[in-house]
Amino acid sequence: MTDWQELEKRYFMNTFKRQPVTLVRGEGTRVWDDKGKEYLDFVGGWAVNCLGHCHPALVGAIQEQSNTLIHTSNQFYTIPQIRLAQLLVENSSLDRVFFSNSGAEVNEGAMKLARRYGKLRLDGAYEVITAMNSFHGRTLAMVAATGQGKFQEPYVPLPEGFVNVEYNDVEAIKAAATDRTCALMLEPIQGEGGVNIPDRGYFKEARDWCDEKGIILILDEIQTGIGRTGTLFAYEQLGIEPDIMTLAKGLGGGVPIGAILAKEKFSVFAPGEHGSTFGGNPLSCAAGYATLKYILDNGVVENSRRVGEYLVTSLERLKAKFDFIVQVRGIGLLLALQFDRDIANDVVKACIEEGLLINQVKPNAIRFMPPLIITKKEVDEAVNILERVLAKGF
């Protein structure tokens, strides 16, 4: 039998801390490795596989589109792109869409849009305020936007124009603002940063301050969007609307696609000022349309909310039982379990051993981001495995 992991070590750049599992097949909430072992998937491709694995609605759309038209370039109109843009606009508070291929790429595009607006309407302002512990992607500019030293230090000097301030602190935003500030970019919940939920009122105050100063509010909903937090977009629960919003991860159900959405007022790109070869191609947009349409028509967002609440209740029961669990946090199906010591890596390994895929988000915290179609029965199964693992003691 081929030792794929050995081959990866020989040929691939040494960038990922992978678990020793080679996945070959998936169906619904389950995946199988090359030895035939079955796993319940609570990683969900890092909050991407919102319909689980190989969902018939997504597979059918990809099959049909790949038999019809895969790629054309944006020199021409194509129908899947327009249909997906319409569906996004009709189901959000934003007016216009641009498609790219990934999260980092749409955030880059949002930065360009903000700078363009700054040049045209804000006296050339170009600086963007972002938060400490944020995550906005891996391109050089997004590393500068991402307020985490471990991502920045290997690459200094970084592109200028980014200021990282404390999250959940409006005064820190105000103190960092200058007449060069054009935008504030925040995640509604910090995903990679550890599933950090800001206080009620933070976003409302930030929104009011942006309005007062004429500064653009950009929400990075790459992880929180598309039903992950129990509403289609997390901003719906914040009582505010963003001026610009970025999406990726769940949008294509596993097919790479990202979207920048903007209110009409902020949609200031002129022809030729931004672009993409692959962005918005028929195949990825057909996948995005099928995913989003299925979510909207089948109560998937409601399921995310309901089963998410059930998962919180189940995890609270574990917290009551194990004294080294100090917190259950998150909303919808973006949740974390906080330990009082650095055992997340061991817990993840032990869970995988027992057939449950789970993610370490901090040395002392694990993260849950299963497919949004998950059932309560599958939650019971996952929590039972976790309970068994934790009972061994750490």
∠ CA 228-144-238, rounded to 5° = 30
By the 10 Å C-beta count (0-12 exposed, 13-18 middle, 19+ buried), 9 is classed as exposed
Q: Where are the alpha helices (DSSP H) in the chain?
A: 4-11, 44-47, 56-66, 79-90, 103-121, 140-145, 149-152, 170-176, 202-213, 282-297, 300-321, 344-353, 376-391
Among 52, 109, 137, 230, indicate the residue that binds ligand PLP (CB under 6 A).
137
> Which residue's CB is nearer to ligand PLP, number 53 or number 249?
249
The tokens describing 171, both together, are 């005064």
- For residue 207, the minimal CB distance to ligand PLP (Å) is 19
- For residue 107, the minimal CB distance to ligand PLP (Å) is 6
- For residue 58, the minimal CB distance to ligand PLP (Å) is 18
The answer to whether 108 contacts ligand PLP (rule: CB under 6 A) is no
Pairing of the two strands 127-131 and 162-165: parallel
The answer to whether 130 contacts ligand PLP (rule: CB under 6 A) is no
Residues with Cβ within 8 Å of residue 174, at least 6 apart in sequence: 209
Reported as type and span, the H/E element at residue 261 is strand 258-262
- For residue 88, the minimal CB distance to ligand PLP (Å) is 17
Q: Are 377 and 326 in contact (CB under 8 A)?
A: no
Under DSSP, is residue 188 helix (H, G, I), strand (E, B) or coil?
Answer: coil
> Which residue's CB is nearer to ligand PLP, number 163 or number 222?
222
Among 42, 126, 135, 266, indicate the residue that binds ligand PLP (CB under 6 A).
135
The answer to whether 187 contacts ligand PLP (rule: CB under 6 A) is yes
- For residue 130, the minimal CB distance to ligand PLP (Å) is 11
The answer to whether 259 contacts ligand PLP (rule: CB under 6 A) is no
Q: At what angle do helices 282-297 and 79-90 cross, to 10 degrees?
A: 30
- For residue 228, the minimal CB distance to ligand PLP (Å) is 10
The answer to whether 223 contacts ligand PLP (rule: CB under 6 A) is yes
Among 177, 218, 245, 248, indicate the residue that binds ligand PLP (CB under 6 A).
248
- For residue 149, the minimal CB distance to ligand PLP (Å) is 17
The tokens describing 102, both together, are 């990934």
- For residue 390, the minimal CB distance to ligand PLP (Å) is 27
The answer to whether 222 contacts ligand PLP (rule: CB under 6 A) is yes
Q: Are 341 and 236 in contact (CB under 8 A)?
A: no
> Which residue's CB is nearer to ligand PLP, number 187 or number 243?
187
Rg over alpha carbons for the chain, rounded to the nearest Å, is 21
Interaction with ligand PLP in 75-104: which residues (CB under 6 A)? 102-104
Interaction with ligand PLP in 306-365: which residues (CB under 6 A)? none
Interaction with ligand PLP in 189-218: which residues (CB under 6 A)? 191-192
Q: Which residues bind ligand PLP (CB under 6 A)?
A: 102-104, 107, 135-137, 187, 191-192, 220, 222-223, 248-249
